[in-house]
Amino acid sequence: MGGEVVKQRKRLLSLICVALMTSEFLPTQVIANATLNVSEVKVDEELANNEKLENSESTENVVLEENKSNDDAEDKKNKELAKPSKGYLKIQKNHAKLERRIARQRETTYHQMTAEIVKQANFIGVETLYVKNMMKNHRLAYALGDAAMSDFISKLKYKAARSNIPLVACGMFEPTSQMCSVCGEINPKVKNLSVREWTCPRCGTHHDRDINAAKNILTLAQKTENSQEVDKEEKTSAVLKKKIKKPPRNIVFIDKLDIVICFSRELTRNNDPRYVILNKKTNVVIDDAQGVGYRSISKARNCFKAKIKWSQKITK
């Protein structure tokens, strides 16, 4: 289609050139017919180009639809392949049952152990461990996760609280396994977990790693409990001091509650308040600042105390 249009265009252009060359000899109708044919050829060419674009767009759409259909078919195949078999599901179910059974057995043993500890003990000491860092060791991670230490300590805590037994946790960075429970010597070689028994280089006592650590945990927990009790006593004393009611503002002496600072209407003039010191029992004015009165309660109290001190010095 495009090649024929180009050929027609070339022919018409050649006719137009001839017509222009010989326009003096040709009539005007021939030239007009030639120009009309050229415009028609241009219109035909534009239509052909539009048809090409439409065809290309339609082919692209068809390609996209085919790709989508292929992708959908592949997804369906993958889903069908991803479906687990009956044997796999059966094994998975049995594995879940086994894990559940292990968890229940661990929970029952923890309940029994914590109950026995709470029955036998009068004081319980526990070591706080940063398990998150310990789990980074790939050799210990599985065993620590399977032990569920936090579950054990939580059970021990609520049972100890229920039976009113103190449970104290010692510090995280205390060298409980490295320190000798007899003399307090610290042996850095015991950091290695493979060392299960060791002899103190200072006092010569032979230690089992776990028993020595347990003794150190107990002593440290007792120390922390004593320090906590001291802190509690200090806090309670501070709270009691705060709770003690302050004496009323108009009292001069705490020992002598009869002597009071009172407002005097007689001495007050032109909205200028005046205060005097009065004895409640006898209702007699003790001090009125020579008939003028004091301008504030604090001033009256301070002046009256200063007068009494001065009088005591003179008598001496």
pLDDT at res. 36: 43
Closest CA relative to residue 125, chosen from 236, 234, 231, 228? 228
Judged on CB neighbours under 10 Å (0-12, 13-18, 19+), 276 is buried
Taking the C-alpha atoms of residue 214 and residue 127, their distance in angstroms, rounded to an integer, is 9
Residue the block writes with tokens 């030639």: 34
Low-confidence ranges of the chain (pLDDT < 70): 1-82, 239-247, 316
pLDDT tens-digit series, residues 247-257: 677 777 777 77
Percent with pLDDT over 70 in the chain: 70
DSSP assignments along 280-309, one per residue: TTTTEEEE-TTTT-BSSHHHHHHHHHHHHH
DSSP 8-state code for residue 191: G
pLDDT at res. 142: 85
pLDDT at res. 287: 84
pLDDT at res. 33: 46
pLDDT tens-digit series, residues 89-120: 899 999 999 999 999 999 999 999 999 999 99
3-state helix, strand, coil in the chain (%, to 5): 60, 10, 30
Q: Classify each residue of 188-224 as buried b or exposed e, where b means 16 or more C-beta atoms within 10 Å of its C-beta.
A: eebeeeeeeebebeeeeeebebeebbebbbbebbeeb
pTM exceeds cut of 0.85: no
pLDDT at res. 15: 45
How many CB atoms are closer than 10 A to CB 110? Answer: 19
pLDDT at res. 46: 54
Coil, helix or strand at residue 26: coil
